[in-house]
Structure 1
């Protein structure tokens, strides 16, 4: 199942994008591509995007992503879905308003940490994943000292208009409980003003259930 989802992600990422750079005459080295990904991550301070989420059971949800570094992200699901995922700078929360349940993880123990920490050095924990398309860059990030933190595979398309010449297309995350989530991004807007208020949320354990 993981291989099929991952293959689908690569196929989606390989689709033509506006501003895509021309294929280089000589293939870049793995080290240079990892350095390019590091520069891209450091060059993104905020992002808004539409997302499509697929879980390991094949269930698909859509919504809006809002990200602000350091440590803040919000997955606002489509209307009618009583779920919310949000990080407030310290912790990552998953809220199910239908049953008034809140789950919490420290950001540092989530695969999402590499996207939320602008100072994170991925050089010792990232591995380039070969792709058939030279305009697709795929990188798996996993801390060998903390396998319980899970892993995340980031997928980029080469795009001259993006930071460091890349545009993030999405990722495949596998957390410490073996829960796999595939995220596909579209309509990305980078380094736009984002209010800290975007990451506030209502605790259903103390209030009426609403997103």
Structure 2
């Protein structure tokens, strides 16, 4: 069941990237209609695919949008999941973690979170070329899952929720500014003691 659901999600992302949208999958149901998007790796495949999927889903992705999604860091790790010495085959688990944040007006941070996806592939010591191809294909599937996961996260956000986060962030910033101004006034109004001059011995 899980594999079938992942397959459906993967197909939905691939079709969206080609300009198609599947009805009933939720791939086009984003209430956010404007979004700025950037990444630490500005020309990386993840941000490129995500930008295309968002545009195909009716989101106007452009600088100056009220909210800005930033893919702050993407890291991949690999570990041996199992090993068989007889036929020299090893199962490797690939993990990709994507840190992201959303900022609002005046570059005020609204939320930060991360996505994590995992997949296993088999490395056959007797078929190095085929194993390398399998690893590359697994990485592509991981990236599609990552993009789809990011879209799902965005589907859970509404402009009203982001507006509320923006309002709370503005209130915090205003309170901090008022506290800093009050502290500065206190320092300005407090007489400074003159240094005591000690007569020379």
Instruction: Give the TM-score taking structure 2 as reference length.
Output: 0.29
Tell which has more relative contact order, 1 or 2 (C-alpha 8 A, sep 6+).
1
Greater helix share, 1 or 2? Answer: 2
Larger radius of gyration: 2
